[in-house]
Amino acid sequence: MQRAVEFVFDVGSPYSYLAYHALPAIAQAAEAQIVWQPILLGAAIRASANHSPFEVPAKMRWVEQDLVRCALSLAVAFSHNAHFPVNTLVAMRIATGLQMRRPDNFPAWVAAAFRAMWGEGRNLADPAELAVVIGEAGLDDRELLALASDQAVKDKLRSDTDAAVSRGVFGAPTFFVGDQMFWGHDRLDQVARSLAQRGGER
Amino acid sequence: MQRAVEFVFDVGSPYSYLAYHALPAIAQAAEAQIVWQPILLGAAIRASANHSPFEVPAKMRWVEQDLVRCALSLAVAFSHNAHFPVNTLVAMRIATGLQMRRPDNFPAWVAAAFRAMWGEGRNLADPAELAVVIGEAGLDDRELLALASDQAVKDKLRSDTDAAVSRGVFGAPTFFVGDQMFWGHDRLDQVARSLAQRGGER
């Protein structure tokens, strides 16, 4: 049995981007496997009756400052995204589709999508831009857009999102270590402690 | 000029309680003064069009677990409050009134109110309980309830809350170092860094 930490994310979520950069070192230190769980955050927020910070102007103004400070303290390149909130439906269907059909290509896509969104402020909801980013990941845009149109892939992203909500997810990033849930990149210290104490064996 | 960190709080806010315990060591290390700013959190949340976690069941379930973990990591005694959310209007009017008229008694009241709410899970919206807690602070309940009924005190809590919202406050605890705003006890590391870098001179 290996220790595991589940990472529930959407590439459209800037705090998921910060966690994406911070989690590997924590997992490695605990000799834990990262279990990647793509979801559609907008759907999870609606299904849990939560609200995006984007809906609260004062909160959004603070979030913009906070992201810069958090990225700085993590030494992660960060750019505001003028297109936020971006519809990441196709981008996340690609992530799910790659997990199902071509898992070896999943890491390259997640890296390229996160970098485009939050390192470079690009609009993944724009089909032309999306195709360019797929190319930058070293992947074929026609193949991946066909994959994203596959009904089984669409259904899987939806059922994975619903399953996450059923387990208590209301935002992203969310982490699970065993049955313990942690919300926010700012809880990664607790994730690390939980991995050390409980192990999260699967 | 002395360095200063402003602490915007409501004793009904459990994360304000955690910050109340963690902030003094941070301020002391930075040789900074704590500027206490009582507000009525419910009014600030409404005025900023924000939402209490209490309105989102999945978030509230997570908050209950998170508070226990955060309190444990800070070594702060913590008790769930079955009465949450508690109407802290009178308790916060007392805090404001003491700041205005009897500042020497302000720390004892804040300590007693936070302890009653989040160390002992008591209901500060219950007039009888409130009177007992005032007594435990070594203060006179008749005097303080009269103070809380003073129109100037009521107006001050309201105008202080409005002023906080005007400065961008949408939740508690919130900290200001100079013009930099930080939301959440989990940003106290950034508060410490800001105090070290910028000084927050007033």
Sheet of A174-177: strand order equals: A32-38, A3-9, A174-177, A180-183
Question: What pLDDT sits at residue B53?
Answer: 84
A126 backbone dihedrals φ, ψ, rounded to 5°: -90, 115
Question: What pLDDT sits at residue B200?
Answer: 53
Percentage, residues of chain B above pLDDT 90: 92
Looking at the predicted complex, does its ipTM rise above 0.90?
yes
Contacts with A170 from chain B: Cβ below 8 Å: 56, 58-59, 62
Whether the CB-CB separation of B149 and B161 falls below 8 Å is answered with no
Q: Does A180 contact B65 at a Cβ distance shorter than 8 Å?
A: yes
Domains of chain B by range and CATH? 3-197 (3.40.30.10)
Contacts with A51 from chain B: Cβ below 8 Å: 51, 56
Question: What pLDDT sits at residue A63?
Answer: 96
Question: What pLDDT sits at residue A88?
Answer: 97
pLDDT in tens, A41-85: 999 999 998 988 888 999 999 999 999 999 999 999 999 999 999
Q: Å from A143 to nearest chain B CA?
A: 37
Question: What pLDDT sits at residue B2?
Answer: 80
Question: What pLDDT sits at residue B59?
Answer: 96
C-alpha B196/C-alpha B198 separation (Å) is 6
| Crossing angle of the two packed helices B151-166 and B141-148, in degrees rounded to 10 | 60
CB burial string A89-101: b at 16+ within 10 A, e below: bbbbbbbbbbbee
Whether the CB-CB separation of B62 and B33 falls below 8 Å is answered with no
Does the pLDDT value for residue B134 go beyond 70? yes
Q: Does A69 contact B186 at a Cβ distance shorter than 8 Å?
A: no
pLDDT in tens, A76-118: 999 999 999 999 999 999 999 999 999 999 999 999 999 999 9
Mean pLDDT of B161-178: 98
pLDDT in tens, B68-82: 999 999 999 999 999
Mean pLDDT of B160-178: 98
- How many other C-beta atoms are found inside a 10 Å radius of the C-beta of residue B169? 27
Does the pLDDT value for residue B1 go beyond 70? no
Does the pLDDT value for residue A40 go beyond 90? yes
| Crossing angle of the two packed helices A127-136 and A141-148, in degrees rounded to 10 | 120
* Between B25 and A197, residue with greater pLDDT: B25
Contacts with A173 from chain B: Cβ below 8 Å: none
Structure tokens given for A105: 């290509």
Question: What pLDDT sits at residue A199?
Answer: 55
- Indicate the average pLDDT of chain A: 95
Of A11-25, B10-24, B188-202, which range is least confident? B188-202
Question: What pLDDT sits at residue A201?
Answer: 54
C-alpha A7/C-alpha A20 separation (Å) is 9
Mean pLDDT of A119-139: 97
Whether the CB-CB separation of A56 and B65 falls below 8 Å is answered with no
C-alpha B11/C-alpha B95 separation (Å) is 9
Of A127-136, A137-146, A192-201, which range is least confident? A192-201
0.80 exceeded by pTM: yes
Q: Does B181 contact A73 at a Cβ distance shorter than 8 Å?
A: no
Percentage, residues of chain A above pLDDT 90: 92
- Please say if B13 is a catalytic residue: yes
Mean pLDDT of B47-64: 92
Of A58, A65, A187, the CB nearest to B50: A58
Question: What pLDDT sits at residue A128?
Answer: 97
- Interface A-B: count of C-beta contacts within 8 A: 74
Of A26-35, A84-93, B44-53, B117-126, which range is least confident? B44-53
C-alpha B45/C-alpha B100 separation (Å) is 24
Question: What pLDDT sits at residue B198?
Answer: 67
Question: What pLDDT sits at residue A121?
Answer: 96
Amino acid of residue B29: A
Does the pLDDT value for residue A1 go beyond 70? no
The confidence band for B199, taking pLDDT boundaries of 50, 70 and 90, is: low
